[in-house]
Chains A and B, each alone.
Chain A
């Protein structure tokens, strides 16, 4: 990213060699194109996410670590499948949750409390593009996670079912899951104090990691807890991915419905309740 990128298409203004005192301050107000704003927003959001150490830990290192660890120790009760085949879909679901929910909630919560959202609200940037940039950055991080986790999975002997036909189902699940988790994250970030968001987002992350069918199947849970877990988005996402990638089936209507309901409800609530400052 160079300064030249950000200079207007006209490149007006006697800047550069002349040094200080030669800025052309005469008014020339106009909003940039939406595409340019979107690109700039996405790029900075992505850079900032990848720069935050805790975010990389949460979205990259923990999922990869869990995948490698549980593959090695093989805690799975069933002998009918390789543990890596069970684990990859679960860890993919965890990765989506960590990026779309936990990371986004914490970052957005602090941006709100630091006045970033207020400040950007005073520029020509529409809020829709601000949010679109966030979403695009989340999706970009998810692509990196996906590549990383699939590579590690294959290295560990992962053998997915379904072949190329699984790709649309996987994408549908990830997109719906991203929407549901983003809604939940933005709902928190837009209403709670930043510190409360930080605590709650981490707590929910841990809870959903444990009862989300990520590293062990829901069937290990007591009946009542399992009933709760099955309507939570993490279990729906991990279960759906597992249906596709481990069993070679479709994503499961129930899983898609659970994710869609979470997405609609949380995004709707977030849109109503979000406070920008």
Chain B
């Protein structure tokens, strides 16, 4: 018997008139941390930088993009641009599949089409073309059968403005036959002290966690989490990540959108990189970061080294190039022998290799190579 996928999307297309898109902004998004693209930019950016810094204090992937041989322009021309009739193509022939019991991250910058894709899967929007199956069913025609089985976390809003956090969660719990205990769930997400606070007075992070609680309280088989950690502080992110990991352990299929690399790397079994409404890469974090090379070796040295001769000293399959002037990148199976060979060759040629470091490619490197742009920009 063929395995039923949790989510199967084939050839999805969705266009909008220029003004209407999936509403990421609404009156409910009052807090400064939740206003559109700028939100949480600071905290996320610094977190990422900090993380990279531990591995490679000075390296930025961008300088290499210009000389990269990888297809930086792969998806760019497809463009989420205006169509001749003034419409915008938000999703452009997108296909993906999500196995039951996995955690899948849809990764991409703002405007990549993540929310539109998820909202079509949730049955909120109708696709212009393409086929969508959720747990083997049609998200709109079979909505009544699917709703108890699918938990949804919207990017923002969705609460009665005057309702208290606990009331809202108990209401959604009452729509399900075997819900989690709302009080225990609030406790788990650190919201016990906020249970009596009206929704509009919760902080952005508290609203996010309440929204997550509402998605899982009915004990669904499949949950869609649209940017579950946007605007959260470090502790809030950790709490959310742990809950997502527990969901996976419990056999719940999770589909989340994010533009945080570390989130995708930590949580996801499968990462689907989306840009301009198309899938540009699919794989596990390890597969994606492995790419064509097991690792990278970077160093600085005077410009104009004869790399052809260096490669003769290195194993087959290793590549080397000079990025910005005086910066060298060696890609291949990075092991002690490779490191020794490179430094020996430099020594033999009277060259001092400075700032030499070994690093794994990150999802961010992959993303930059595939799309030619940085995430979140």
- Residues of A bordering B, CB below 8 Å: 1, 3, 5-10, 12-13, 15-16, 19-33, 36-37, 39-41, 44, 47-48, 51-52, 110-111, 113-116, 118-126, 194, 277
Contact = CB atoms under 8 A, between A and B. Distances in A.
A23 B154 contact: no
B34 to A, nearest CB: 13
Label chain B's interface by main secondary structure.
loop
Contacts, number: 174
Contacts of B247: 25
B166 to A, nearest CB: 8
B154 to A, nearest CB: 6
B187 interface: yes
A3 B218 contact: no
A20 B1 CA distance: 39
Nearest to A41: B171
Contact of B147 (A40, A41, A124): A124
A33 B171 CA distance: 13
B7 to A, nearest CB: 15
B148 A30 contact: yes
The 7 closest A-B pairs by CB, nearest first: A119-B158, A115-B157, A40-B174, A30-B177, A25-B250, A15-B184, A3-B183
Nearest to B159: A116
Interface of B: 23, 26-28, 122-124, 144, 147-150, 152, 154, 156-163, 166-167, 170-185, 187-188, 214, 216, 218-221, 246-247, 249-252
A186 B183 CA distance: 34
B175 A32 contact: yes
Contact of B178 (A1, A8, A122, A194): A8
Contacts of A123: 147, 172, 175-176, 218
A27 B40 CA distance: 32
B176 A25 contact: no
A115 B156 contact: yes
Contacts of A41: 171
A15 B148 CA distance: 21
Given A1-B167, A7-B181, A32 B159 contact: no
Given A24-B219, A26-B219, A118-B154, 6 more contacts: A12-B178, A29-B221, A31-B177, A52-B162, A114-B160, A124-B147
Contact of B161 (A24, A25, A110, A120): A110
Nearest to A21: B188
A29 B173 CA distance: 11
Contacts of A32: 174-177
A26 B221 CA distance: 8
B177 A20 contact: no
B167 A47 contact: yes
A8 B171 contact: no
A20 B187 contact: yes
Contact of B176 (A20, A22, A30, A121): A30
A114 B27 contact: yes
Nearest to B152: A122
B184 A13 contact: yes
A5 B171 CA distance: 10
Given A6-B182, A7-B181, A31 B147 contact: yes
Contacts of B170: 1, 3, 5-6, 40
7 contacts: A5-B174, A23-B188, A24-B250, A25-B246, A40-B174, A114-B158, A122-B152
B30 to A, nearest CB: 10
A52 to B, nearest CB: 6
Most buried by B among A26, A114, A121: A114
B75 to A, nearest CB: 30
Contact of B180 (A25, A31, A39, A51): A25
A15 B184 CA distance: 6
A47 B170 CA distance: 14
A28 B246 CA distance: 15
A44 B163 contact: yes
Nearest to A5: B170
A277 B161 CA distance: 15
A122 B219 contact: no
A119 B27 CA distance: 15
Contacts of B216: 25
B236 to A, nearest CB: 14
A15 B179 CA distance: 11
B215 to A, nearest CB: 9
Given A3-B181, A37-B174, A116-B158, A25 B219 contact: yes
A12 B122 CA distance: 27
A119 B124 CA distance: 10
Contacts of B27: 110, 113-114, 194
Nearest to A49: B162
Nearest to A119: B158
Given A15-B184, A124-B147, A29 B219 contact: yes
B157 A16 contact: no
A41 to B, nearest CB: 7
A28 B154 contact: no
